[in-house]
């Protein structure tokens, strides 16, 4: 497996970068998804990327969730609305 596939949409792991994640986040919010929903999906995607690196499918240099890195995507913390 070299791609993340859902409902016939194939996304190569090499395409998952900071720009892609920011565009996805903006698109999701503009289409009515809550920030909490986006954060949940991003955590799931981060898990998939971690598994891909562990299995040698994705290169560590392509990983864009690195904590403390200058060009890392930060998953926003959300707080429940009351």
pLDDT per residue of the chain (82 residues) written in tens, 0 to 9: 445 555 666 788 888 889 999 999 999 999 999 889 999 999 999 999 999 999 998 888 888 888 777 778 888 887 766 6
DSSP annotation of 3: E
pLDDT at 1: 43
Q: Rounded to an integer, what is the distance from CA 62 to the centroid of its chain?
A: 12
pLDDT at 80: 67
- Token pair of 66 as six digits: 């690195």
pTM: 0.79
pLDDT at 79: 72
């Amino acid at each position: 497996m070299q791609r993340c596939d859902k409902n016939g949409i194939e996304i190569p792991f090499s395409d998952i970068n900071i720009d892609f994640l920011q565009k996805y986040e903006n698109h999701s919010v503009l289409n009515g998804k809550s920030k909490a929903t986006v954060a949940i999906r991003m955590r799931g995607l981060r898990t998939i990327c971690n598994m891909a690196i562990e299995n040698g499918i994705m290169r560590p240099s392509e990983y864009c969730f690195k904590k403390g890195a200058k060009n890392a995507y930060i998953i926003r913390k959300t707080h429940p609305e009351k």
